[in-house]
Amino acid sequence: MNHADSTKYGYWTNDNVDTDADTWLEKADKHTGSWWGHWQQWLDARNFSQKIDARVLEGELDAPGHYVKQRIEDVLKTQEENRHVA
């Protein structure tokens, strides 16, 4: 990731989204530098400055889950046993 002031790379813009990717790129405007400033202007124009608290998602299991605690030897043994049963 490059700093927003970096001119090492560039980005393209095109408001026409009703086209295929190749045509979109062919008709897009190329800009030098980072896309971060352009994106910030786009957000500001749409009044996305209001912050929304992140949702707390409920997981099925406490971390780390049981899958983290499995040993590869046990997994391979179970797979082998299941192969013989099938």
d(CA 48, CA 44): 6
Residue range 7-66, pLDDT digits in tens:
788 999 999 999 999 999 999 999 999 998 899 888 888 877 677 888 887 777 777 777
d(CA 4, CA 40): 11
Domain boundaries, the chain: 10-61
How many Å apart are CA 19 and CA 26, to the nearest integer? Answer: 11
